[in-house]
Amino acid sequence: MGEEVKTTDFEKVIEEFERITKNAENVQKEILRKILEENASTEYLQKLGLNGRTDPESFKACVPLVLYNDLEPYIERMIDGDFSPILTGKPITIMSASSGTSQGKQKYIPWNDEVFETSVDIYQTSFAYRNREFPIQDGKALNFIYSSNFTQRKGGVIYGSATGHLFKSPGFKPLLQALKSPSCSPDGVIFSPDFHQSLYCHLLCGLLFREEIHSIASTFGHSIVFAFRSFEQDWEELVNDIKEGVLSSRITVPSIRDAMSKLLKPNPELADLIHKKCTGLSNWYGLLPELFPNVKYIQGIMTGSMETYLNKLRHYAGEVPVLTSEYGASEGWIGSNVNPKVAPEFATYAVLPQIAYFEFIPIAQLDGTQVELDPVGLTDVKIGEEYEIVITNAAGLYRYRLGDVVKVMGFHNSTPEIKFIRRGGLLLTINIDKVTETDLQLSVETASKFLDEEKIELIDYTSYIDLSKEPGHYVIFWEIRGEASDGVLAECCNCLDKTFIDRGYVISRNTKAIDDLELRIVGKGTFQKLLENHIQRGASVSQFKTPRYVGPTNTKVLQILSENVVKSYVSTAYN
């Protein structure tokens, strides 16, 4: 697997992608045939009466659309060591865990070599188009990647995060090498059991190789923002490590200390230079090009809930472009950004027709109510329409409803270019209201402008439905940096309430079917505590996404938020 990705002609990657996307319908039929042939003997497909047929019509007639709960009994058997052909013809020995940040429950998704190969396809395609617009020479990347803990069940199945499995795959380092993005950090840092010590040493490695760094990347934009917020706190200690050539005593993991001892030597000249760079900055604007003079771009998944962090990233980046890269989920990859010069807010992803069989459930709007229609194929979607993605892949997911809602913005040859709109299951709803994650994000962006005027920063946010008394009401949690007056925060609270444009919400508020919105301000570091809780549950930092909605079953996250509330404001917008 590693041999495949050692050398790559990226013009050929583009040529191949152009060829495939011109024939997307036939490529889809072929990938479905291959998946069904390889897994024809499975208990799941046998039970559904497919009887070896591989055409799309028979597949859709026999195999139902499913959610995770439908597959969970099969997956639990696999986790417990049943290696018979349940969902896949070949035994599954590895499971990847989703982040589970919203509802507090992780999903376990089968992982195999084919999943890694789709990662290769996605990464190579994204990089080929990115490198055509932003060419880089051989150098290093400051990759904020972290391998999660792995657990072995009694049956022998290993499970951990999808990103952790990716990083541990034998082909991953050769893949980074082929993409001209070898990590500046040694394995001892990447595969450390302690996230905070890894982060500190990622930053230290970046500084040591500062002139060789041509890109800064992580799976999600949040990780990069988190890293350089940490740098603001720790930079003097990092500078001292470089000056003395001695690693901080805060680093206690032997494997990290051993790895860093091979890199760290006394360098007072470099330490002085970094010190001058940091003290010469105004409010850390343009930090990244100051620290890394040859950096060409900042890259990761920047859309969806990650758009919240774009302003802060751009503040750190100065004139350096911030690019979004791929689109996927724990269940599988979907598309690549083949127009990297487009700002992340307007970016689209071209679906790779060779990595999975895709269907799209149209979501029609009738009198403000969403109506789901029968799924259509990859090449049958229509520009301007919204769809929920359905995926069938070689790892045992058949007609699996991903939950993500996307909008078709155009076509790259015959494959659609899609824009992520929202996660389908995350609706704030009490009465007839249906407020989406996107609606919440727009409301928060509008309300936070009152903070911008006071030079106060919104660190992060989430939401909750409080049904402890009738009628229920929305609760928005904010963590801010700086001292905001009660007057400003009261304005923010009213603005949040007034800028939810969902018709059902407005009617419900006017008729008092939903009570006054509440803005709760939490103390410094609260959202970091959510990250810590995520890590303690064995999940990967690389997959962490702040939950934009905290479900009633996610009691631990709600407890952390509630225990850290320092101020609360109630809207008067509808009084």
Task: State the amino acid at position 406 in one-letter form.
Answer: V
Across 482-528, the runs of DSSP E, i.e. the strands, are 518-522
Type of residue found at 99: S
Lowest average pLDDT, out of 39-43, 162-166, 389-393, goes to: 162-166
Considering only residues 171 and 440, tell me which one the structure prediction assigns the higher pLDDT: 440
Amino acid 331: pLDDT: 86
Burial 137-159 (b: 16+ CB within 10 A, else e): eebbbbbbbbbbeeeeeeeebbb
- pLDDT-based confidence at 434, cuts 50/70/90? confident
Q: What is the mean pLDDT of residues 411-416?
A: 97
The pLDDT of residue 6 is 40
- Please name which of 431, 402, 430, 406 lies closest in space to residue 417, comparing C-alpha atoms: 406
Closest alpha carbon to 147 in 530, 546, 542: 542
DSSP state of 550: -
Amino acid at 399: R
pLDDT grade, residue 159 (50/70/90)?
low
pLDDT digits (tens, 9 = 90+) for 452-470: 888 899 999 999 999 888 8
* Alpha carbon separation from 53 to 27, 41, 83, 177, 379 (Å, rounded): 17, 12, 24, 41, 22
Q: Over 50: is that where the pLDDT of 262 sits?
A: yes
Q: Do β-strands 332-336 and 349-351 pair in parallel, antiparallel, or remain unpaired?
A: antiparallel
> What sign does the CA torsion over 551, 557, 559, 561 have?
negative
Q: Specify the pTM.
A: 0.85
Place of tokens 């026999």: 62
The pLDDT assigned to 454 comes to 85
CA atoms within 13 A on the CB side of 543: 29
Average pLDDT over residues 412-422: 93
527 touches 460 (CB < 8 A)? yes
Provide the pLDDT confidence category of residue 517 given band limits of 50, 70 and 90.
Answer: very high
Rounded to whole angstroms, the Cα distance separating 217 from 221 reads 8
Contacts of residue 487, defined as CB under 8 A and 6 or more positions apart, other chains included, come to none
Distance of alpha carbon 379 from alpha carbon 18, whole angstroms: 15
Mean pLDDT for 500-519 is: 90
Rounded distance between C-alpha atoms, residue 551 and residue 179, angstroms: 39
Kindly state the helix (H) or strand (E) to which residue 536 belongs, with its residue range.
helix 526-536
Question: For position 536, what pLDDT does the model report?
Answer: 75
Whether a cis peptide bond, with omega within 30° of 0, leads into 471 is yes
Tokens encoding 61 = 């007639």
Asked if the model's pLDDT at residue 572 lies above 50, the reply is: yes
* Mean of the per-residue pLDDT values of the chain: 88
Amino acid at 461: Y
What b/e readout covers 216-249, taking b as 16+ CB neighbours within 10 angstroms?
bbbbbbbbbbbbbbbbeebbeebbebbbeeebbe
Q: Which of these ranges, 144-148, 157-161, 210-214, 270-274, has the smallest mean pLDDT?
A: 157-161
What's the CA gap between 283 and 262, in Å, rounded? 34
Confidence of residue 7 (pLDDT cuts 50, 70, 90): very low
**343-348: long-range contacts, CB 8 A cutoff, minimum separation 24:** 344/302, 344/303, 344/306, 344/307, 344/310, 345/303, 345/307, 345/310, 346/419, 347/302, 347/303, 347/419, 348/409, 348/410, 348/417, 348/418, 348/419
- Yes or no: say if 237 and 165 are a contact pair by the CB < 8 Å rule: no
pLDDT tens digits, 222-260: 899 999 999 999 999 999 999 999 999 999 999 999 999
Q: Write out the two tokens for 36.
A: 């069904």
What confidence tier does 538 reach under pLDDT thresholds 50, 70, 90?
A: low
Q: What is the structure's pLDDT at 5?
A: 40
pLDDT band of residue 163 (cuts 50, 70, 90) is low
What secondary structure letter does DSSP report for 244?
H
Question: DSSP label at 282?
Answer: S
Write the pLDDT tens digit of every residue in 320-375. Answer: 999 999 998 888 899 999 999 999 999 999 999 999 999 999 987 655 556 678 89
β-pairing, 457-466 with 386-392? unpaired
Alpha helices in 210-267 (DSSP H): 221-244, 254-261
pLDDT digits (tens, 9 = 90+) for 270-299: 999 999 999 999 889 999 999 999 999 999
> If we measure between CA atoms, which residue out of 302, 336, 301, 348 comes closest to residue 120?
336
